[in-house]
Amino acid sequence: MAHAVNGVVAAGRGAKVSVETILVPDPGPGEALVKVQACGVCHTDLHYREGGINDEFPFLLGHEAAGVVEAVGDGVVDLEPGDFVILNWRAVCGSCRSCLRGRPQYCFNTHNASQPMTLADGTPLSPALGIGAFAEKTLVHSGQCTKVNPKAPAEVAGLLGCGVMAGIGAAINTGGVTRGDSVAVLGCGGVGDAAIAGARLAGARTIIAVDLDHTKLEWAQRFGATHTVNAREQDVVEAIRALTDGNGADVVIDAVGRPETFQQAFYARDHAGIAVLVGVPTPDMKLELPLIDVFSRGGAVKSSWYGDCLPSRDFPMLIDLHLQGRLDLGAFVSETIGLGDVEKAFEDMHHGRVLRSVVVL
């Protein structure tokens, strides 16, 4: 039986999104039907709408979500109706070469639901990141559901499904920030502020926030930034060096994802320091660096995909830290909205007026 629910659909490149009736099938083998309670509005959803991911329109948007399992299909043994879950887009396969080498956080064969969700006329929808959670219900692979403590509000728990996890993971998992380190974060939106929060959790001594916007720099201080640099007013590399005894930071995280910001991250790190790219570039962007500088400065240049997270390990731990008062996930939520407000939320996000708008169903 198909469930007729409301969902936010992007019909074509650059077109405004609309709320449509969509049909969600009952779960088949290995699948789970989830009643969505909340879903954050992420830049990736806007990239889908703009055709920046692929052109497999129409898209059912939304992926940064939490909700309750309503039904499971045959063969699902680790979930049952009533479980409170965060949805993830890294449902590890367990059998690819990364998984078999004990590195499931790099799994490249992750699972999605087999059955399509459709428009009322039967047109198949492409769910964003295999999830499609700007909807009252969605169908996912059971491995995309990570059980966490149900005491956490859905509007904050769901943020771990993408942006907040990406930022925290870029600091802790990819950058390996540890106690006493100096860290600089370029770009203080949701992902950048999450990287700042992650650096603080890891015990960083100096945390430098860099942005073009004074308001965002003020936000960054709430998450643990010890120093701020306005990139409109100061040379970023020189300012970071000045705040780190002239050496550069141990870890520099680029949460913007542009060639010029990544060059700043590369040169603002200490010798043998780590530069981490977590901001998402567009396909046309090119990076040019003197190879001698790559050789002579040592250290590492890394990309961080989903914060190199393992949802089954990281989500429950971070929710527990939130419930203990050690990680304020609620500080990322600028506003709660309805399904019909997603287009305006995209505009607010584009203009930097919010950290996260969260759809509450």
pLDDT for 53 equals 87
307/116 Cα distance (integer angstroms): 28
Residue 108's pLDDT band (cuts 50, 70, 90): confident
For the cut 90, the answer to whether the pLDDT of residue 90 exceeds it is: no
Per residue in 120-168, pLDDT (tens digit) is 999 999 999 999 999 999 999 999 999 999 999 999 999 999 999 999 9
27/113 Cα distance (integer angstroms): 9
Distance from first CA to last CA of the chain, Å, rounded? 22
Per residue in 246-278, pLDDT (tens digit) is 999 999 999 999 999 999 999 999 999 999 999
For the cut 90, the answer to whether the pLDDT of residue 232 exceeds it is: yes
Per residue in 19-57, pLDDT (tens digit) is 999 999 999 999 999 999 999 999 999 989 998 888 999
* Arithmetic mean of pLDDT over the chain: 96
Contact 47, 280 (CB under 8 A): yes
Who contacts 84 (Cβ-Cβ below 8 Å, separation ≥6)?
66, 67, 68, 147, 148, 149, 150, 152, 154, 157
Evaluate if pTM is beyond 0.85: yes
User: In the structure encoding, which two tokens stand for residue 7, read together?
Assistant: 């969902």
- What's the average model confidence in pLDDT over 326-352? 95
Q: What percent of the chain has pLDDT over 90?
A: 94
Per residue in 215-231, pLDDT (tens digit) is 999 999 999 999 999 99
The residue whose two tokens read 């948007």 is: 61
Contact 59, 129 (CB under 8 A): no
Per residue in 182-213, pLDDT (tens digit) is 999 999 999 999 999 999 999 999 999 999 99
Strands (E), the chain: 2-10, 18-25, 31-40, 59-60, 64-72, 84-87, 118-119, 126-127, 137-141, 145-147, 182-186, 206-211, 227-230, 249-254, 269-277, 300-303, 335-337, 357-360
pLDDT for 14 equals 87
